[in-house]
Amino acid sequence: MSSPRTVLDAALYWDTYYADVFRFGQGTEHILALLGRTPPVHTWSDLGSGSESLLWSIALNARRLTSVDTDPDRLATLTAFARTGRPRGIHTVALALCGRDADAFPQHCRCLTSTLVADCLTPERLPLRVLSADLLTQFGLLGLCRNTGHFTDAFTRLHAHLPEHGWAAGANWVPADSTGRVHLTHGAYQHAARQANLHLLQLDRLPSTDPDFPHIWTYLARRIPR
């Protein structure tokens, strides 16, 4: 299944949104606070991770992270960045916002234990160990779905193996021109969560100061025990 192109290529995206400047007002601080509500987890899979998982890791307490993306270049950037153990400006601000020690970043980098090149919008191709992690996140992946049906289907199948009491969290940026992309609504998320047997604990649609992505959706959910 082909997926729509991400707006910026790997290096430009990494340097625009995840470099030295923490862009307040674009939802990042909200996502970090949301992730901070989750308890420590052993395994975490970040789907459509790009090069960016380590920013989100700052708010989490996760032992083993698998980052999955279709783009090997983005994953190579992530791996190389983890090896340096040195935060960029955005990470330094995130560490402070999350109440972490300024020198705690190498510890977060060590949680990246594997990367995988795979199509996350075709979940049946993903290994079970990825889908059955204690925490499943996606930031900017499901917003690439073509329409509500595609979104519900991908959301449901991605979370089908989440363990009892497992956690799901994510964010989707709404482009100013959303041609060819799903129109996200409260109802769309609520329906997808019900289909996936997840309990939505928080769902927000926030304004953003980014003119290219004027809104952002964020959610936190948990598997309902059977």
Ligand X SMILES: C[S@@+](CC[C@H](N)C(=O)[O-])C[C@H]1O[C@@H](n2cnc3c(N)ncnc32)[C@H](O)[C@@H]1O
Residues binding ligand X (CB under 6 A): 3, 6, 48-50, 52, 69-71, 74, 119-121, 139-141, 144
Alpha-carbon gap, residue 22 to 186, rounded angstroms:
28
CB closer to ligand X, 194 vs 205: 205
**Nearest alpha carbon to residue 64 among 124, 116, 29:** 116
Shortest Å, Cβ 4 to ligand X: 7
Range list of β-strands (E), the chain: 41-47, 62-69, 112-117, 135-139, 167-174, 198-207, 215-223
- How far apart CA 140 and CA 155 sit, in angstroms, is 13
**Could you tell me the two tokens for 24?**
């307040």
The smaller minimum CB distance to ligand X, of residues 43 and 57, is found at 57
Nearer to ligand X among residue 71 and residue 194 (C-beta): 71
Q: Going by C-beta distance under 8 Å and a sequence separation of 6 or more, which residues neighbour residue 49?
A: 67, 68, 69, 74, 75, 78, 115, 139
**92 alpha carbon, distance to own chain's centre:** 19
User: Closest approach of Cβ 186 to ligand X, in Å?
Assistant: 21
Return the DSSP state at 143.
Answer: G
Provide, rounded to whole angstroms, the least separation between the CB of residue 226 and ligand X.
29
| C-beta of 41 vs 194, nearer to ligand X | 41
Whole-Å CA distances, 16 to 6, 21, 23, 98: 14, 9, 10, 22
Shortest Cβ 207–ligand X spacing (Å): 18
- The residue among 180 and 224 lying less far from ligand X, judged by its C-beta, is 180
Smallest gap, in angstroms, from Cβ of residue 76 to ligand X? 12
- What is the rounded CA–CA span in Å between residue 160 and residue 131? 8
To ligand X, the closest distance from the beta carbon of 8 in angstroms equals: 8
Our CB check for ligand X shows the closer of 3 and 92 to be 3
